[in-house]
Structure 1
Amino acid sequence: MKRIVDGYFNLLKFIIAACLAMMVILVFGNVVLRYAFNTGISVSEELSRWFFVWLTFLGAIIGLREYGHLGVDMLVSRLAPTGKKACLIASQLLMLYATWLFLQGSWQQTVINLDVMAPASGLSMGIFYGVGVVFSVSAGLILFYDLYRVVSGKLSEAELVMVKESEELAEVEELQKELDEQERHAHATDSRR
């Protein structure tokens, strides 16, 4: 199962890279064509906007899985393990509710716009709104899994705070863990001698 999940997220990363590459090609190509040849790619603006929306939502899925979203942990990090657990359960339930609302709206917009054609490309606008469905289903599964891990007690106390105040603080904590690990390794090597 882990291989399937990892494969799915690797596929998402590939799609994000492909969307970014296509955006660069379309926008740069359009600029060159406009200035050098006084012509352009008519679908460039529309498709690059679609690629941007898709890569943003797919990136949010990956960020959710890797706990990459920033948050405020000032209060939660100071709570006892029971308080941290209660706050995490409450936040997971609230995020599941918001994801459910987002899924409902995205599904309705996708269905409504399936037969509506985009002005420049002629593609179904359902493709544009479909990313909300992909995001909601993926995020919902991630949130359910994390909620299961909290309720079943499979998370350590350190994992009960899933957000960080800033990226710099997260990097400092990661470096501190690496230094502590190196120290333990050095002490273990010294004690063997």
Structure 2
Amino acid sequence: MSVSRLCTRLIEALIVFLLVFMVVIVFANVVLRYGFNSGIHLSDELSRYAFVWLTFLGAIVTFRENAHVNIETLVSRFGRRGRLVCMGLTQGVVMICAAAMVMGTLRLHPLNATMKATVSGIPMSWVSDVLGVCGAGIFLIAAVRLVAILTGRISQSELDAFAGQNLSEDHQ
């Protein structure tokens, strides 16, 4: 198993854990509120922060699998060379945006580390730092793709996925 696939599996496992955590804590809170006139004070805050992490970790996995929103109408009309150029330009733009996310997170980290969550008291940097994690993950994926494009090692299946052509469309 490649390092990339292993990292993806770990992120997917963390996403599943966060989703299960959210369901359990919110369900337990509902049962306690309506059944026992009690509740878990941290449930709203922790489930909200888990959802933020789940969303940004999901963005990494989505980007790796080329399942993000993509404008395929024009790219699908190009041949291999045109697709390579578009994919290369796209990866460059994505790398710039992802680097901006990482740099912004690093600049805001000291401020967010001093701010505390209202109920739990955890530093807000624990919540906001997922932006840097997401940006770094997406940057690395885009960089690997760009290197593959520039060295001619990009697979036809990756190029087809970028152009919005997948197996389900071929069988229709």
Q: TM-score, normalised on structure 2?
A: 0.90
Q: How far apart are 1:152 and its partner, in Å?
A: 0.9
In the other structure, the counterpart of 2:168 is: 172
CA–CA distance in structure 1, aligned partners of residues 23 and 163 of structure 2? 32
CA–CA distance in structure 1, aligned partners of residues 6 and 155 of structure 2? 26
CA–CA distance in structure 2, aligned partners of residues 68 and 20 of structure 1? 20
Percent sequence identity over matched residues? 34
CA–CA distance in structure 2, aligned partners of residues 5 and 80 of structure 1? 28
Q: How far apart are 1:171 and its partner, in Å?
A: 5.5
> What is the letter of the counterpart of residue 90 of structure 1?
L
> What is the letter of the counterpart of residue 65 of structure 2?
E
Alignment of 1:16-165 (within 5 A): 16-157=15-156, 159-163=158-162
Partner SS for 2:154: coil
CA–CA distance in structure 1, aligned partners of residues 32 and 114 of structure 2? 32
In the other structure, the counterpart of 1:191 is: none
Runs of at least 5 residues in structure 1 that lack an aligned partner in the other structure: 178-193
Partner SS for 1:113: helix
Partner SS for 1:114: helix
Q: How far apart are 1:28 and its partner, in Å?
A: 0.7
2:76 and 2:163 in contact (8 A); partners too: no
Q: How far apart are 1:80 and its partner, in Å?
A: 2.5
Which structure's CA Rg is the greater one?
1
Runs of at least 5 residues in structure 2 that lack an aligned partner in the other structure: none
In the other structure, the counterpart of 1:190 is: none
> What is the letter of the counterpart of residue 142 of structure 2?
L
1:34 and 1:40 in contact (8 A); partners too: yes
Q: How far apart are 1:7 and its partner, in Å?
A: 2.2
> What is the letter of the counterpart of residue 24 of structure 2?
I
Deviations along 1:59-102, one digit per CA (max 9) or x if unpaired, are 11111111121312111111122221111111111111111111
CA–CA distance in structure 1, aligned partners of residues 150 and 65 of structure 2? 20
CA–CA distance in structure 2, aligned partners of residues 110 and 154 of structure 1? 37
CA–CA distance in structure 2, aligned partners of residues 121 and 153 of structure 1? 51
Q: TM-score, normalised on structure 1?
A: 0.81
> What is the letter of the counterpart of residue 18 of structure 2?
C
1:46 and 1:121 in contact (8 A); partners too: yes
Distance 1:78 1:158, change over 3 A: farther
